[in-house]
Amino acid sequence: MKSRADVKLSDVVKRAQDASVKFVDLKFVDMLGTWQHFGVPLHQLDDGLVKDGSGFDGSSIRGWQPINASDMVIKPDLSTAKIDPFSDYATMSIVCNVFDPLTGIPYSKDPRFVAQKAEKYLTSLGIADTAYYGAEPEFFIFDDVRFQQTPNVGFYQVDSAEGRWNTARLEEPNLAHKPNYKGGYFPVAPTDSLVDIRREMVEVLESLGITIEAEHHEVATAGQCEIDMRFEPLLNLADTMMWFKYVVKNVAHVNGKTATFMPKPIHCDNGSGMHTHISLWNGKTPLFAGNEYAGLSQMALHFIGGILKHAPAVCAFANPTTNSYRRLVPGYEAPVNLAYSSRNRSAAIRIPMYSDSPKAKRIEFRTPDPACNPYLSFAALLMAGLDGIERKLDPGKALDKDIYSMSESELSSVPKVPTTLTESLNALKKDHDFLLKGDVFTPDLIESWYDLKMNDEIKPALSRPTPTEFEFYYDC
Q: Write the pLDDT tens digit of every residue in 112-158.
A: 999 999 999 999 999 999 999 999 999 999 999 999 999 999 999 99
**Are 415 and 406 within 8 A, CB to CB?**
no
Q: What's the domain count of the chain?
A: 2
Active site residue 172: no
Residues 407-434: tens digit of each pLDDT: 778 778 889 999 999 999 999 999 999 9
β-bridge partners, 233:
132
pLDDT surpassing 50 at residue 284? yes
Residues 374-416: tens digit of each pLDDT: 999 999 999 999 999 999 999 999 988 877 777 778 778 889 9
- Band the pLDDT of 4: cuts 50, 70, 90: low
Active site residue 138: yes
Mark whether 228 and 176 lie in a shared domain.
yes
CATH for 212: 3.30.590.10
Active site residue 410: no
Active site residue 364: yes
pLDDT surpassing 60 at residue 236? yes
Q: What's the pLDDT at 452?
A: 97
Please state the φ and ψ torsions of residue 130, each to the nearest 5 degrees.
-145, 135
Q: Could you say which of 107, 139, 174 is where a domain stops?
A: 107
pLDDT surpassing 90 at residue 6? no
Q: What's the pLDDT at 1?
A: 43
**Are 18 and 12 within 8 A, CB to CB?**
no
Mark whether 101 and 134 lie in a shared domain.
no
Mark whether 80 and 162 lie in a shared domain.
no
Mark whether 222 and 353 lie in a shared domain.
yes
Catalytic residue (one of 25, 110, 226, 387)? 226
**Are 298 and 393 within 8 A, CB to CB?**
no
355 located within any domain: yes
Mark whether 67 and 201 lie in a shared domain.
no
Mark whether 208 and 142 lie in a shared domain.
yes
Quote the domain boundaries for residue 34: 23-107
Active site residue 345: yes
Catalytic residue (one of 112, 217, 275, 362)? 275
**Mean local confidence (pLDDT), 360-375:** 96
Catalytic residue (one of 239, 364, 369, 387)? 364
Q: What's the pLDDT at 326?
A: 95
Mark whether 384 and 432 lie in a shared domain.
yes
CA–CA separation, 182 and 270 (whole Å): 7
pLDDT surpassing 60 at residue 180? yes
Active site residue 366: yes
**Mean local confidence (pLDDT), 101-122:** 96
CA–CA separation, 368 and 360 (whole Å): 21
Q: What's the pLDDT at 3?
A: 59
Active site residue 57: yes
Catalytic residue (one of 6, 11, 57, 410)? 57
125 located within any domain: no
Residue 410: other Cβ atoms inside 10 A: 12
Catalytic residue (one of 77, 110, 218, 269)? 218
Active site residue 213: no
Catalytic residue (one of 15, 177, 199, 345)? 345
Residues 6 or more apart in contact with residue 212 via CB below 8 angstroms: 202, 205, 206, 227, 228, 229, 230
Catalytic residue (one of 30, 136, 232, 269)? 136
CA–CA separation, 273 and 125 (whole Å): 31
Residues 6 or more apart in contact with residue 334 via CB below 8 angstroms: 270, 271, 273, 327, 328, 366, 367
Average pLDDT, the chain: 94
Q: What's the pLDDT at 332?
A: 66
Mark whether 155 and 288 lie in a shared domain.
yes
Catalytic residue (one of 138, 192, 232, 269)? 138
190 prior amide bond cis, ω within 30: yes
CA–CA separation, 94 and 25 (whole Å): 6
Catalytic residue (one of 302, 310, 350, 366)? 366
Active site residue 52: no
